[in-house]
Structure 1
Amino acid sequence: LLNELLRHQYVGPFAAPVDPRIYPSYYEGPRAVADPIDLGSIKKNLEAGAYANADAVKTDVDRVWANCRQYNGEESEIARMAETLEGLFDEKMATIPQELEAEEEASRRRDDQRKDKRERDLLKQMQDMQRQMMEMQKQQLAMQQQGMAAEAPIDLSRDMTYEEKTQLSAGINKLKSDNLGRVVSIIRENMPSLGNGTDEIEVDINALDRKTLWELHRFVNACLK
């Protein structure tokens, strides 16, 4: 606003301090101005942060016009120039509260938008976490169900197929020596007649009964997991 005044065609007499060499009576004598001020000095003060608010700036600007009228008279040409600049300044000053209010409203809207975005982002994160937790729970439940299925009682209602016997035989051959003792124990517990009381048993898959085969199947699968 001050820059606009300082570009006005009438600003010349008000842009800088009155030269005491040209107008000594401005500073001394009956017409002397007690508190001189000019627009250029006001601008420097404003840039230096000397004013607390816009009202303080207006007080100094009004003093420029008042000093002009006091020294030059109300009806002087320079006083009419001051009146023109004063009207322009006051008109612009009147719009400042509205502009500030509009800026504050725009700032509030921006803050609300940022807040809404943060809330949306937080909600999305929570929803993603809930979906992940539900997925983990499903996976855990599936694993538990698989474990329960693996531990289900052996179905003794059917005979083992040829393919299953072949897989069982191959699985026994993959067992470590520590586990082979348990294989022998399972066979002895279910079919004590095999081996004729000797310490060694030659495993013949086809000679084993259904219950023994399925118990061996469960044991071998558990060892090879």
Structure 2
Amino acid sequence: MLSNPFNSFSLFLPENQLIQSSRSMETTDAPPVLTEGEPALVEELGQNVDQIFLKVDELEKRFNEVEQFYSKTNKKQSNTSKGSSATKDNEKDKQLTSFKKRKQDASRREAAAAKRMQDLMRQLAGLLRLHIMAHKWAGPFMQPVDVVGLGLHDYYEIIEKPMDFSTIKTKMEAKDGNGYKHVREIHADVRLIFKNAMKYNDERNDVHVMAKTLLSKYEDKWIEFMPKVDEEDARRRREEAEAQLDVQLAQEVTHAKMARELNSELDAINKRLEEMREVVLSKCRKMSTEEKKALMTVLTQLSPEDLNKALLIVAQNNPSFQATGQEVDLDIDAQSEATLWKLKFFVKDLLQSQGKSPTSIGGTATNTTTTNNNQNKRKRETNDGPAKPTQKKSKKPS
């Protein structure tokens, strides 16, 4: 039960008296000013607030980054993954363990892949030297076409990308990053040599016939060589998929760490704000009797949920106060000044968030007065829910 400490004040006031008491919350209250002679404290609190605003702005940016990452991650997972959450968690744990191991071996793995590709390119170069470049018809394709010497004035109009075996050899031996990265690039350039010759020269031309013959011979050798290339490509795809997973897991680890840090920093800010609030409350003036009456009046008009929050404020500052029983007896005169001002701030913040003013908190009040020797009661529901007003009625005073 919530009881009233004022003999002339009851939970259920006539409407005009309720409005008058509510207005006093807004118009007759003096602000909870700090005591005089505290300019240094006021300045320090102002500086602390400015620092907190800057910190909150920074945390908001980091929070948005984490939120966007997990929003995208959850969307991808919902579109691509199936199964129970427990299965997914187990899979992620296995992936993370595998990721840590692969991360340690990343450099070695990349070097091994590069070495395997170099071996394949050397093998293809050996195949070319033995079966193609050593052929008796390979001469016209060993060096770049002498366009000027042969008077081939339209050559560059027909051939977009000239190619020859000496250019391939130079590119294979390049050490400046301009060389071949994959054996299939060499394969494409070898085919280009013969395709260019067949494109520029008529089918009856000797060069065309030689190019066609050598290309057929090369394609046969490439078919024999291709299983090795396919095997390496499949292995690379697996490693690239693992690398992509590694990137994703690394991002998850990073953002999970950011989330933990954000929680810790927000807890620190909340603690700092609470300490500042306590300092301010300890310096506030004493609340008047009329202000207490007005505060009590507004408290009786709160919703069960909001009233429960108000009672918890009292309990936090008064360990002996029982806010969770079926009946609660609140003696407002027995509360500390800090508790009273916290209740006052809570009520005003609540009204502001609801877009109301204190004059509208009462709504349609019960037009009766019940007085019971300072023991007016507000009962909690028997299901341990938030407190609700007991609907008592009495005859109007004569």
Tell me if TM exceeds 0.5: no
Instruction: Considering Cα pairs closer than 8 Å and 6+ residues apart, tell me whether 1 or 2 has the greater RCO.
Output: 2
- Greater share of helix: 1
Quickly name the TM-score band, shorter chain normalised. Answer: 0.3 to 0.5
TM-score computed with the length of structure 1 as normaliser = 0.40
